[in-house]
Amino acid sequence: VATILIILLCGVILLMLSVKTGLCIVLGALLCALYYKRFVMKEFGGVTGDTSGFFLQLCELSCLFAATIGVYL
């Protein structure tokens, strides 16, 4: 429950700072999480420590890319 509240709070803060950029980052993270869940269930049958590290890197890069797009829109 606490983790979900922190995630929601961070999303709200991002949207308060810049609506365009915050929306791009939140959308990028959400799409990344959905892709990750589908990928690990299909390929591995579940989450492992290695796939969690993969998710972390993928999510960081997708948020960075989404922020870059949001700034230049």
| Per-residue pLDDT reduced to its tens digit, 22-64 | 999 999 999 999 999 999 999 999 999 999 999 999 999 999 9
- Residues contacting 51, CB < 8 A, separation 6+: 36, 40, 44
Nearest Cα to 25, choosing from 68, 56, 53, 66? 66
pLDDT for 1 beyond 90: no
